[in-house]
Amino acid sequence: MVAAFLASTPLLSESWSLCRSTTATAASAETFAVSSAGDVSYVAFSGVQAFGVLDPGCGNLVAVDGGVFSVLRHHVEADEEAEEPVMVHAGMLSLFHSMLKYTNFESQMFEIIKQSKSVVFTGHSIGGTIASLSTLWLLSYLQSISSPLNVLCITFGSPLLSNESLSKFILQERWGGHFWHVVAKHDIVPRLLLAPLSPLTQLHALLQYWHLSMTSAQLPVTGQDFCSLAQNAALRQDIVVQLPDEEKNRLFLFVLACAEASAKAGRSGGSSFFWPFGNYVFCTNEGAVCMDDGAAIVNLMYLMLVTGNASSSIEDHLKYEYYVEKVSMQFLKQTGFVEGEFFESSYEAGVTLALQSSEIASHELVSGPARDCLRTAVRMGRAPNLKSANLAIALSKITPLRAQIEWYKASCDKSDDQMGYYDTFKLRGASKRDAKVNMNRIKLAQFWDSLIRMLETNQLSHDFHKRSKWVNASQFYKLLVEPLDIADYYRSRGMHREKGHYLNHGRERRYEIFDRWWRNRKVGEEENTKRSRYASLTQDSCFWARVEEAREWIENIRSESDMRKLTMLWENIHKFERYARKIVEIKEVSRDVLAENSSYSLWVKELSELKSQMHQFPSRFPGFFEGESAP
């Protein structure tokens, strides 16, 4: 479907046309070219501007700085548990920074933002990686100014750029649809960085060959440029001599073996390994196949390369004009099945069509794995959304459990004992009502823990934790239920004395995760308005854990004789006292906090009595009225 859409629009042909003309002027000072078609601006980057960045010395991955890509800095700060930083190819990143520093690229982009409705970044070969970085840069900037500009990136034969963390980040930001990478069937360049570059002694000569081939293909054969064409042809012949078939075969087999290892692994090997991101469009003589799952992309990269050879893997990097025309022609040509062939579902029919387009169907050794790969890609594409839908149904089924706890809270707040929600549950007895609420608390925890496991094992979409439905649901659950968890933790007086206080030793990981989700949400203007009445739920879900610590501080003051420790205890008490007064004043607490016999109200009374005793009987508190410490 996506391949047909791209083929039916001028996007591919216009992008390639500008890539070709930019390569023709690669010797000039400009490394990019800008063209407009109506409200659409095209920005193309030369594929031969600096092939040296693919040399082994420049091939390491480095962390992306947060200065130019500000959104990545916020992403790292927001996700404290991120296993791997976002990293990109050091040489490519250096090229991009040089372009920002030494050309008028940035000023031209600001003009495009003012004048255009859409911008398409494009590039062939290394130019494709610069197009990807430019797209990432512009998307980061547009997010900061809330611009409606449409941004698209179309690359042709681009090398891999980054580790898997960038792929995850792009999915989380819902930017996957902005990146489209066109890959010729056997082109070795998009597969090249699946292999370590250091053993590739043939690479330098190969890069020179591509460089001269792309430049020569664009030069006119008349006038003064005839000599340049002849010189390039001679240099290309010299390079061919330097790179015999044996060397090309060695390179091909090495990259093929590394691609196979990556395909079998099913994911990247960590932050130091390259990995695809965005959407890939694999082009053949029979059409095109699109996919967006990283593991499936790497698998198909390998399976399609198996059907090629050393020569086709090198020459395919120079044949994108042919493939662009072929894809457009295939869109006009009706593709059919063998007469009498039937399928169990449209899903199987789609897989068969994709297999035909990949030209792998006729290769017995890889046609089976290729079909499995395509099936997996389709399942992986649908599975996260299906599981999200099933979770929404499951959430609706547990809503009655949450409603029963809400009813319990309301009844506690109205109770004559004036203890409130937290203390009633902490001092609960053996009633059926208390047992039911406790069971609901446990069942809700199981649901949310299961959801987190699914998210962390990539069973849900990568932006799941940014969807307002789930951010709000998790926040409400946390505010409603965590006070019960705290009450249960302190219900047995020995537990916190053995393990330590709740905040550092008893808090469940799910609540810390939900804290991050809530902090990273998009805040609406309505959330900044002042409250006119007390909150239905205390907005600090850990408030009661802080109260429990503060009550222990008062107990310790009565028995502590070490002045240094006493001073520290008073500092802690004063800090909590100021905090509690503030959130009560701005009505960020529920009414149960202020109930006459709640733990907080009792703490306030205890603190007042302690201060009174200290002034009435100073001899019992030596040192406090001699300038050493003061309550």
Task: Indicate which residue of 89, 317, 462, 496 is catalytic.
Answer: 317
* Residue 151, strand partner residues: 119
Q: Does the annotation mark 125 as catalytic?
A: yes
Distance between CA atoms of residues 168 and 466, nearest Å: 13
Question: Mind listing the pLDDT tens digit for each residue in 55-80?
Answer: 555 668 888 876 778 767 655 555 55
Question: Mind listing the pLDDT tens digit for each residue in 434-493?
Answer: 999 999 999 999 999 999 998 887 788 878 888 899 999 999 999 999 999 999 999 865
Residue 479 vs residues 302, 505, 534, 599: alpha-carbon distances, Å: 49, 19, 14, 18
Report DSSP letters for 472-484, one per residue.
HHHHHHHHHHHHH
Question: Mind listing the pLDDT tens digit for each residue in 319-362?
Answer: 999 998 887 776 555 444 444 454 455 555 556 666 666 667 66
Q: What was the pLDDT predicted at 62?
A: 86
Least trusted range by pLDDT, from 119-128, 219-228, 250-259, 528-537? 219-228
Q: What was the pLDDT predicted at 66?
A: 65
**Residue length, the chain?**
631
Reference 154, options 288, 310, 333; nearest CA is 288
Instruction: Quote the pTM value.
Output: 0.71
CA 545 to chain centre: 33
Domains delineated in the chain: 1-218+238-331 (3.40.50), 384-521+532-620 (no CATH)
End-to-end CA distance of the chain: 73
User: Exposure of 274 by Cβ count < 10 A (0-12 exposed, 13-18 middle, 19+ buried)?
Assistant: buried
Task: Indicate which residue of 15, 41, 125, 388 is catalytic.
Answer: 125
In sequence order, which ranges of 38-125 are alpha helices (DSSP H)? 70-78, 90-102, 105-115
Q: What was the pLDDT predicted at 408?
A: 95
